[in-house]
Structure 1
Amino acid sequence: MTISPVERAAEEFAAELARWRVERGLSKKQLAGKMGFDPSYVSHVEGRRHRPTEDFARRAEAVLQAGGAIWRRFQEYDGNRQARGQAAAGAKDPPVPDQWLPPGTGLVVDQEVASLTYREGTYRYAVRRRLYNAGTEPVTRYLVRISVDRYPHDPARSNRYHRDHPLTLNELDFQAVCGESEVREPMVWRPKQDRDAFKEIWLLFENEDGRFPLYPGRRATIEYSCEIPEVKWGQWLQRAVRMPTRQLTVRLDFPAALEPQVWGVETSMSAEETPLRTPVIRQEEGDRAVFEWATETPPLNARFRLEWRFRSLPAQAPAAAEQRASERMRAAGIVQRGADLLRQAARPFDLPRDESRAREVVGRLLATLDRLDELHLFVKGVGLAAPQIGVPWAAAVVRPPERAAAPVVLLNPRVVDTSDETDEKYEGCLSYFDVRGLVARPLVIDIEHARWDGSRVITSFERGMARLVAHEIDHLEGRLYVDRMSPGVPLVPLEEYPDTGHPWTY
């Protein structure tokens, strides 16, 4: 009886599998357990009753560490099988099987499509990756990097710029999903690093409905996107190859009226910057100019950068240095006047039961204060209430004018007494930073507030600190300083306010 090439290749695969299983001292049941298969399936493959699959072959190769021998047998089988199918269909050339990946490779990118779309002063950045788990362990999270560089050819200038105008997580509108278009699961995400021009974000293979790990031998498609203002993004997009990648595509989508021009360069660990080896293809789609560049199996650690310029310049957003002060605060994550949250009473903590939540909120407030120091010199002291960072809880921090002094933490505060003596001083507000207003405040104020353990204490504040504390408690009660100004007294634009950079005097 004549044996077909497919049947012969299947037998040779089964023999190779059995040889390496015995070599490693594993029973069929033990091998099945390590591969994540039912023992009967392994037995059927070795007994030639079931044909091997790509998933089965990859897992067997990874577990038995056969140096590629098992995978090569599968390639021979799969090549013969596909050749038979192609011949039956009248095709000439069978497809080339996937390249074998050594054990421990981990995640592989089957396909990546990175796209950047420019509309009205904003870039929308989206990355779609089809992942294959070539490792031996389930994958439960995936690391994403987002980096901006306003002046990519002048690092010192770019560093100074982003120190003054940091990219914030709040403005990114970051979103992530897992799955194809028919079934897409939202992915929980968690910041790992948050620097002025660089973010690292963990995408978790989970959401409120449960977990969906990427198991060995399985594939999944993830997609994430974010928005970045033009004033914080230079005219370039770079893709770095950090894991084995089979196909990489980059798309740029611009208004055709801007007359965009696009070019690209490539760098690697062993070569300096050179032009891309293949051209960037342009095509018109309505009133849009779409540029696309693709490559197959790019080398690890290679970097591909596309750059562009607009021959017909768009209406430019104001340079960040010329932006209104309130816009700089908004970019730093401060909720601005007009938001409903600033007019709502904050929610008190139930201490000590809410201690962990309270500590988290206070930690966010202190971190935001540190970031604000890069935008403005607060010689009069500065305070920040939780609603100003979009958190509806009754917490505030106040830092005295003396920078060496520790910030005061206020939890569930309330005013219990004030002095009859008052004075008027100009105040500013992080949520309305373009102007200053003349406000009368008591010179002494007594505040009852909570400790972490729920016990309460009364603290007395005087002069400048009394004003700062009263201002923040107003925020927690849904009030702004403009509500306390006398009728008819005008606000003073920041550029006309003479005491910027000077402390209050008493």
Structure 2
Amino acid sequence: MTSAVDSTGNEPTGPQLNVFALELRHWRDVRGLSRNALATKLGYSRPYVSKIESGSEKPSRDFAGRAVATLQTGGALRAAFAEFAATRTAPVRAPDAAELTDAAGSLVVEHDDASLSFDGHTYRLIQRRRLINGGTEPITRYLIRISVDRYPGDPERSNRLYQENPLTWDEIDLHAWHGEHRTTPMAWTAHHDRDAFKEVWLSFSELDGGRHFPLYPGQACWIEYEYTVSAAHWGNWFQRAVRLPTNCLSVRLDFPAALEPSVWGLQTSMAAEGQPFPTPISHQVEQDRHIYSWSTDKPPLHARYRLEWDFRERADDERTPPSKVMAGLGIAQEGEEILRRTARPFDLPAEAEDARRVVAELNSAARRVARAHVFGKGMGIAAPQIGISRAAAIVRTPDGDTLTLFNPRIVETGGGEDEQYEGCLSFFDLRGKVPRPLTIHVEHTDIDGNTRITVFDRGIARLVAHEVDHLHGQLYLDRLRPGVEPISVEQYRGTGTNWTY
């Protein structure tokens, strides 16, 4: 749902870690699951999952089968289990305490800063961290992971890509430094080398066997590393996983303006489903570049912050499906139960505060969506579409006005009807030709509890009727004439234009 995931390597890794354990941890990270969340989905305890990942426990065939079905890895995890089962000749032992001395468990990250740029052909990631040793022993190395997934929604396609064209060390061209201004080049050694991900120990020592500069208890330092990955290997997402206590996390994306980028963010934590970032991503245009930046203070442990993007000028087969874009922006998708429920009306003015809060959420969602798509005909969002089963909706007209509706219902229609194509944020890959009345009379409640009737005509009537349907558990697919099927968004030719009458 990567591009590339850049995971900090802050979890202990024993020398006997097996190929199945590596693939399991990789795909758990790709799917954005904590160990708790994966254990819950598999029906196993978290300690058991931890032992499988550390290599201290042999995975059972039942466990492997459940993991394959749950993580949907396109055969990669199944093949890893077969390889592990075929080569395992001795019990896998747990790493002892001495082996985990460098696991960096006592580290605190004062600032975690990632900067990702794209020139149209190659992604370059620069990662800077200010580390504080809060433990009692010197730290001599630091584990990082470079992991890519070109087609996160199609694991079989991704697996074929990396099997035929694996990520290589030459392509990555990894460099690392110690010191605030890249003062001293750091040595590094490969820890694990797989087709789609690498794990590397950054050593607190100079290149070519030079001096050592361990991070002693109470000391702090900057480390920085950078690497490149071709567009053929990198997907359309970048994820930061919080594995150490972190005081500040910041991310910057730098894309060519010519590609017409749009960017959005999702946050997950432990077993929680993805939610939009709690604060907006800032956007600046600098000459021919679009710069997106976002930061947060005191992110909770195990949280994952995932930025996704789409290039509107990219070839169609490389673009993110529109429905996935909308899901990433926090819009409920077809099949979710809330879209088929009748939303609960507001008791106004007694629930005025709740009503205002829901409208604020709707407006926030509308702003996110508008950054990802051009709406020449206007747009609307109903509260169930953002996971709130209350009878509120907003409509943004083609002229830029915003209508707010509480407890709306259509009480009268007139003026004949016409058929025009509609789209829905909850299944945005399709467009359907829907018959609607040209005039509707809508009864609704204002924030002070007064009942009003407003008349809407033509295109605005269509927008309002669509949202009223949402509040009564109905989708426009239900209104298609018998025998009429929706078309794909690629076939639709009306994007960016106003209604025609």
TM-score (normalizing by structure 1)? 0.51
Amino acid at match of 2:431: R
Amino acid at match of 1:439: V
Q: Of 491, 495, 499, which aligns to 1:500?
A: 495
1:238 corresponds to 2:106: no
Alpha-carbon separation, structure 2, partners of 1:259 and 1:477: 50
1:408–1:316 distance in 2 versus 1, CA, 3 Å: closer
Q: Which residue of 1 aligns with 2:384?
A: 387
Q: Of 293, 310, 329, which aligns to 1:320?
A: 310
Residue 266 of structure 1 and its aligned partner are, at CA, apart by: 3.0
How many residues in Structure 1 have an aligned counterpart in Structure 2?
304
Alpha-carbon separation, structure 2, partners of 1:442 and 1:306: 59
1:304 corresponds to 2:197: no
1:489–1:332 distance in 2 versus 1, CA, 3 Å: same
Q: Which residue of 1 aligns with 2:363?
A: 366
Alpha-carbon separation, structure 1, partners of 2:196 and 2:422: 49
CA displacement, residues 402-427 of structure 1 (integer Å, 9 cap, x when unaligned): 02x2x111112111211151111111
Residue 352 of structure 1 and its aligned partner are, at CA, apart by: 2.7
CA contact (8 A) 1:348 1:394 kept: yes
CA contact (8 A) 1:426 1:437 kept: yes
Q: Secondary structure at the match of 1:266?
A: strand
Q: Which residue of 2 aligns with 1:65?
A: none
Q: Secondary structure at the match of 2:362?
A: helix
1:275–1:309 distance in 2 versus 1, CA, 3 Å: farther
Q: Which residue of 1 aligns with 2:483?
A: 488
CA contact (8 A) 2:167 2:196 kept: no
1:113 corresponds to 2:6: no
Unaligned runs of 5+ in 2: 1-7, 13-21, 35-102, 149-161, 205-214, 238-308, 312-318
1:482–1:149 distance in 2 versus 1, CA, 3 Å: farther
Alpha-carbon separation, structure 2, partners of 1:112 and 1:355: 48
Alpha-carbon separation, structure 2, partners of 1:315 and 1:286: 13
Q: Write out aligned runs for 1:376-415 (5 A).
A: 376-403=373-400, 405=401, 407-415=402-410
Q: Which residue of 1 aligns with 2:49?
A: none
Q: Which residue of 1 aligns with 2:414?
A: 419
Amino acid at match of 2:175: G
Alpha-carbon separation, structure 2, partners of 1:454 and 1:129: 57
Residue 128 of structure 1 and its aligned partner are, at CA, apart by: 9.0
Instruction: Answer with 330-339 or 464-473: which moved more.
Output: 330-339
1:505–1:253 distance in 2 versus 1, CA, 3 Å: closer
Alpha-carbon separation, structure 2, partners of 1:343 and 1:147: 42
Q: Which residue of 1 aligns with 2:68?
A: none
Alpha-carbon separation, structure 1, partners of 2:196 and 2:379: 49
Q: Secondary structure at the match of 1:474?
A: helix
CA displacement, residues 265-309 of structure 1 (integer Å, 9 cap, x when unaligned): 23755x3x3564342452479998532336515975734235365
CA contact (8 A) 2:115 2:126 kept: no
Q: 1 or 2 for the larger relative contact order (CA 8 Å, sep ≥6)?
A: 2
Between the aligned residues of both structures, percent identity stands at 33
Q: Of 291, 301, 318, which aligns to 2:200?
A: 291
CA contact (8 A) 2:443 2:452 kept: yes
Q: Which residue of 2 aligns with 1:266?
A: 177
Amino acid at match of 1:505: T
Q: Which residue of 2 aligns with 1:460?
A: 455
Q: Write out aligned runs for 1:345-360 (5 A).
A: 345-360=342-357
Residue 350 of structure 1 and its aligned partner are, at CA, apart by: 2.7
Alpha-carbon separation, structure 1, partners of 2:320 and 2:195: 33
CA displacement, residues 101-151 of structure 1 (integer Å, 9 cap, x when unaligned): xxxxxxxxxx9937996439937599997589xxxxxxxxxx998876542
Q: Of 445, 448, 469, which aligns to 2:443?
A: 448
Amino acid at match of 2:144: R
Q: Write out aligned runs for 1:151-300 (5 A).
A: 151=117, 236=125, 238-241=127-130, 249-252=142-145, 258=166, 260-261=168-169, 263-266=174-177, 269=180, 271=181, 273=182, 276-283=185-192, 289-293=198-202, 295=204, 296-297=215-216
CA displacement, residues 349-404 of structure 1 (integer Å, 9 cap, x when unaligned): 2333322222121111111211222222111111011111122221110011102x
Q: Which residue of 2 aligns with 1:469?
A: 464
Residue 236 of structure 1 and its aligned partner are, at CA, apart by: 3.9
Q: Secondary structure at the match of 1:328?
A: helix
Q: Secondary structure at the match of 2:464?
A: helix
Q: Which residue of 2 aligns with 1:42?
A: none
Q: Write out aligned runs for 1:37-76 (5 A).
A: none
Residue 479 of structure 1 and its aligned partner are, at CA, apart by: 0.8
CA displacement, residues 85-115 of structure 1 (integer Å, 9 cap, x when unaligned): xxxxxxxxxxxxxxxxxxxxxxxxxx99379
CA contact (8 A) 1:397 1:409 kept: yes
Q: Secondary structure at the match of 1:497?
A: coil
Residue 496 of structure 1 and its aligned partner are, at CA, apart by: 1.8
CA contact (8 A) 1:119 1:254 kept: no
Amino acid at match of 1:493: S
Alpha-carbon separation, structure 2, partners of 1:503 and 1:285: 51
Residue 464 of structure 1 and its aligned partner are, at CA, apart by: 0.9
CA contact (8 A) 1:235 1:307 kept: yes
Amino acid at match of 1:252: R
CA contact (8 A) 1:415 1:447 kept: yes
Root-mean-square deviation (Å): 4.3
1:380–1:287 distance in 2 versus 1, CA, 3 Å: closer
CA contact (8 A) 1:113 1:249 kept: yes
Amino acid at match of 1:119: W
1:435 corresponds to 2:430: yes
Alpha-carbon separation, structure 2, partners of 1:505 and 1:361: 32
Amino acid at match of 1:113: N
Amino acid at match of 2:408: P
CA contact (8 A) 1:112 1:130 kept: no
Q: Secondary structure at the match of 1:341?
A: helix
Alpha-carbon separation, structure 1, partners of 2:484 and 2:464: 23
1:349–1:435 distance in 2 versus 1, CA, 3 Å: same
1:239–1:250 distance in 2 versus 1, CA, 3 Å: farther
